[in-house]
Chains A and B, each alone.
Chain A
Amino acid sequence: MSYSMVIDLKRCVGCSGCVTNCKASNGTSPEMARSWVDRSLEGKYPDARRSIVPKLCNQCDNPPCILVCPVEDTTFKDDSGVVLIDKELCIGCQSCISACPYGARKYRADAMGYFGSELTQYEEVAYQNMPENTVDKCDFCMGRTPEGQVPEPACVRSCVAGARFFGTTEEMKGFIDSSGRDSYRLLENMQTEPNVIYLSDFVNTV
């Protein structure tokens, strides 16, 4: 059994709710975004069209980040298909950051908080999982889910547009099939086999 996430780009409004909900729930420190939103513009005025693609770790079936890690067992794929990091073992070499084609890994260089070196009450607790000189990434919120429970990623739970769907890979495949929509994964030609799938945006006409 493995988990996958589907993001419907027609529904997504690019609000960055996934970004701050992930930050608050997972307690990530400044500049450490496990979830982020890429925005681009295609075409010329007045016929330009916006492309909004929320991103996170793709929990690849063939994750290049694991291959390059020099310390055995530091980053690994667990039996639910989620790529995890053992921060006790991580030496902060950032090889995995270079290897990840999705920019999903971030390096925590210091122990600073949002208001400087003195952490707030919240940060003192939240950043216990954000030691300096380690790498961090999305874990589908597995890290804060009790053993035996199905994770409920904060980005999915909070999504104001209901654009995110989460479940087993089989469930998500079924969901995509039943939607009748076009779907794709990022950088499929790199054969990383991502487990984040996008339902393509489209234009409604009458």
Chain B
Amino acid sequence: MGEEKRGISRRSFITGALGTAAVMSTMGGGLIGCTLENKEEDLTSISTGTWIPTTCNMCFNNCAILVRVVDGVAMEIKGNPNSTVGGGRLCAKGASGLMQLYDPYRITKPLIRTNPEKGIGIDPGWEEITWEEAMGLYIGKLAAYSAEDQRYVAGSSMVSNLGTIYARAALNAAMGGMPETAISDICGSGTHGNQELLTATGNASPDYAYCNYVIQFGIQAGTATRHGFNMTAKMFADRRAEGCKLVNFDPHMSAAGDKADEWVPLVPGTDAVVALAMANVLANEVEIYDRDFLTNRSNGPSLVDTETGRVIRDKDTQKALYWDEDTSSAQPYDKATTPALEGSFEVDGKACKTAWTLNREHLETYTPEYAEKISTVPAASIRRIAREFGEAACIGQTIEIEGYTLPYRPVAVDSFSGVSRHKHSWLSNWACLQLNTIVGSCNAVGGYIGFGPKCNGYSDTSPIKWAPGVWEEDGLINYTSLISPASGPESMYEAVRSGISVPETKDMLSLMPFGMDYHFYYINQKDPATFNNLCVKSKMLIAYGCNPLKWWGDFEDQEQLLKDYEYVIGSDLYLTDASYYFDLFIPEATYLERYDVFEHMFLAHRHLGGIDSKWNFLIRQPVVEARDGCLGNWEFCCEAAWMAGPESNAGFATVLNYVHLIMEHNPLPTDQKITPEMVLDAGYKTYIDAEHDLEWFKENGSYIYPRKADEVYIWADGSEGRVPVYMDIMFEAKEKVGAIVEENKIPWELDDYQPLPDWKPCPDYEITDSDYTIMPIYWTNQSNVDTWSVYNAYLNELNESDPYGYAIEINSATAAEKDIKDGDAISLTNIVGKSVSGIAMTSEAVHPQCVSVIGGHWNSQSEFIPTGKGKGTGIVDLVYGSLNPIRYDHLCNAFDQCVRVKLEKI
């Protein structure tokens, strides 16, 4: 067939007039593709229009993208190959951004409620107001409530747009207060903290490029979810294709189970008992553990008083004592030349054992048979997988990278949401992740490494640097904040030592030095008397980019809380279910229409660890004009601060100068209206150099700087540091917290403050009613992870084409017992009588004691988003007790989402 026919076939229906404006986009950005001058242009052709660099925001990973713009219309999105944040690839959600951008159901003008009656299905009587009116209300309410008590204001948001936190925080501060955090997200609180202690940063992953054996507990990293999915998927796929074995423990064969070489179903909330049994196999049955690592890079040699459980310390320095085999005496850890990892000793008349010896003894109770009884995972499988993992760890081997001789431990255990969203989250995550410690894979090549534990700078002249530092008393590593190194290395040990205090904010975090989430806020907001009225209820809520009604627990509980505020400001793209409780709605331009400021700042959330994951700065800039002139949140905050007057504006600029670390180098003026472009320009110049300013980024989009081996493997340069096998600090925390709660008559659980990990049952395990045998679980596939899934036309279409997309998945045998068939309507009812319903789809891919849905928070009832209305089953509504402390982890603020329900055919 000749060229002529091909030409007809391609273009006969896709020609159109293309004016000069189409070729020469005025939205900024460099010309990545080429443009054609032909008036009869193929507007769908890949070469037509201008490719503009920016970053995605269809989830929190913020991958680098290029958007092809033709005549002011965004026609195509692709990954930016000149970036390590996405590597030129683009996931299902990323490509669906066009459906969000052009979604007619998006709100683009500020709205104010005219109907005072609030509730789902009750028309708020929204009326449009001007942006000036909206800003006036925002700052007016904020100032008025803050003037009474800054705790009267609460802020709620999600992780998807971390960069805007600073804009809102600066505006809040400028108006007189810092809102309390009423975060609606439910994160990996128990995971992040343990990762900080093991890898010096709050996000960690297998070192995929070198890893040969990955065990996942309650996580789908590298196949569907977790920070950096689009960055991880290829490197993990490459390794899997090269022979890396993936073992996935999960009640449901989710995306990770799909791709696992071995999917191991288990009862929800029992990951820890399996992990502890594996640890027992390694430590006691087959005795495969990294003696050198445990001796020199953990506190395993710490001498522990067997009577008190406390680590014995040097009286002068308080440093932990190790048994020095050279001198046959107890010495401070940094003086013992040949520490004993194991054994029983006597020091100053006290019987003591090493921490590792105590851990081995502690693990003996976790036989594989015991774990099988709890989890349903066969004991033989536990033994085999543990042995495989240990043997694959290559204990004793080293590898040369960039001139460093580094330990080579190509195995890693990874965990996240499935383990974290339970009571005893801290202990459970610790139980899983300590397997890395046992085989010495923490911070080793091929092992378990932090995303950004150390930075030597983003350029030759960059002033931005960080390193973990050490808690001197035990030689244990500290860590860098998840978001910013502004305050230097952080330390949970120091937080215990000096940070525990009587709670004044509703999150109660001052009682939780190991905590990260904020869920106790809700209990205090409902009834401060629960904790002896130490906190005050907030009267105003600012909900930014989130749906606090639906995210993590019983919807009615959340509804009551939303109704209880005197004034609620919501800011979002859509009028979600939560908007039925908003008084003022401030829309936001989409990520393709606005500037945001440093979504990738300081990298911990956006950059994987690993030698190939280079430092990368990007830009988010508008590629098309915002519909109706809608503002981005950054722009809104800047304008509002200016409106509030010179003093407020100066305060706004000062806070931005501080949090962005630009005060010293490129400070923002305090007497001018700030714009997001000004902050970006100052930041780029500060973090990198003067050459790489905003204009450079607008044109080039992505700046890359190599990451060195000693930034990835934190001990490569011989730095001091250990990871905890034994948490002596728990005793101190328990004592201090216990004293405060006793003095202030606060009901508080102290049982989890213990030096070694354990498995403990979730509250609903106590339910013995034989009708309540099923545990509903939710999971996310790649196209529904994080935000904006069912509202999006493409993603909704994907879900509708999947027979399990909006259904309740039920094990075939369980279904047969109840005569349930595909397509039957079923109901799930929890112990307090809350019920949800949906359509059953049978499957062999879910544990017989579970039913499973994607999402969990769906079944939107908002009339304002027809695309998502009534889709799916919101099983999170069954997670009762979100206002009951008994369902909370008192160590880290996690909330237990495990419930037992009665399953019935309708």
Contacts and interface: CB of A to CB of B under 8 A. Distances in A.
Interface of A: 8, 10-17, 19-21, 23-27, 30-31, 33, 36, 39, 41, 43-46, 48-50, 52, 73, 76-79, 84-88, 114-115, 118, 120-123, 125-126, 128-131, 141-147, 149, 152, 154, 157-163, 203-206
B255 A15 contact: yes
Contact of B90 (A142, A160, A204): A160
A58 to B, nearest CB: 18
Nearest to A44: B844
27 contacts: A11-B240, A15-B224, A19-B798, A20-B93, A20-B96, A21-B78, A24-B96, A33-B801, A45-B811, A46-B265, A50-B253, A77-B1, A79-B1, A88-B8, A114-B793, A114-B794, A114-B797, A115-B793, A120-B104, A122-B98, A128-B14, A141-B46, A144-B42, A144-B45, A203-B261, A204-B244, A204-B261
A78 B5 contact: yes
Nearest to A118: B104
Interface stretch (B67-75, B179-187, B428-436, B558-566): B67-75
Interface in B83-108: 88-96, 98-99, 101-105
Contacts of A48: 253, 263, 844-845
A161 B234 contact: yes
Nearest to A42: B844
A8 B233 CA distance: 14
Nearest to A201: B259
Contacts of A19: 92, 798
B233 A15 contact: yes
A142 B10 contact: yes
Contact of A14 (B14, B45, B98, B258): B258
B65 to A, nearest CB: 10
Interface string B811-827: 11100000000000000
A87 B12 contact: yes
Contact of A43 (B1, B16, B801, B844): B844
Contact of A204 (B73, B79, B246): B246
Contact of A23 (B15, B90, B95, B848): B95
Interface in B803-860: 811-813, 843-848
Given A125-B75, A160-B782, A206-B392, 6 more contacts: A16-B783, A21-B78, A45-B813, A45-B846, A48-B263, A144-B42
Interface string B32-45: 00001000001111
Contact of B5 (A12, A26, A73): A73
A90 B213 CA distance: 53
A160 B74 contact: no
A25 B246 CA distance: 33
A125 B392 CA distance: 54
A181 B388 CA distance: 25
The 9 closest A-B pairs by CB, nearest first: A15-B782, A120-B102, A11-B237, A114-B793, A161-B237, A48-B844, A50-B258, A20-B95, A160-B233
Interface in B766-793: 781-783, 793
Contacts of B10: 84, 142-144
Contacts of A39: 258, 802
A122 B795 CA distance: 17
B308 interface: no
B6 A142 contact: yes
A78 B89 contact: no
Contacts of A78: 1, 5-6, 9
B420 to A, nearest CB: 22
B259 A13 contact: yes
A16 B76 CA distance: 17
Contacts of B813: 45
Given A86-B8, A87-B12, A142-B10, A20 B47 contact: no
Contacts of A158: 78-79, 89-91, 94-95
Contacts of B403: none
Contacts of B811: 45
Contact of A17 (B6, B70, B91): B91
Nearest to B392: A206
A46 B257 CA distance: 11
Nearest to A27: B44
B77 interface: yes
A179 to B, nearest CB: 9
Nearest to B377: A46
Contacts of B140: none
Given A8-B241, A20-B95, A86-B8, A121 B265 contact: no
Contacts of A87: 9, 12-13
Of A50, A77, A126, most B-chain CB atoms within 10 Å: A50
Contacts of B136: none
B95 A84 contact: no
B125 interface: no
Interface string B243-262: 11110000001010111011
A45 B73 contact: no
Contacts of B795: 20
B620 to A, nearest CB: 19
A21 B98 CA distance: 10
Given A114-B99, A129-B13, A157-B78, A20 B89 contact: no
Nearest to B257: A50
Contact of A10 (B6, B78, B234, B240): B240
B862 interface: no
Contacts of B91: 15, 17, 158, 160
Interface in B209-242: 212-213, 223-224, 229-230, 233-234, 236-238, 240-241
Contacts of B243: 204
Contact of B237 (A10, A26, A86): A10
Contacts of B15: 128
A8 B802 CA distance: 22
B13 A41 contact: no
A148 B795 CA distance: 34
A146 B45 contact: yes
B101 A122 contact: yes
B92 A16 contact: yes
Nearest to B220: A13
Nearest to B1: A78
Contacts of A30: 793, 797
A137 to B, nearest CB: 12
A156 B863 CA distance: 38
Nearest to B381: A46
B527 interface: no
Given A19-B92, A122-B101, A142-B10, A13 B258 contact: yes
Contacts of A10: 237, 240-241
B83 to A, nearest CB: 14
Contact of B1 (A76, A128, A130): A76
A146 B795 CA distance: 30
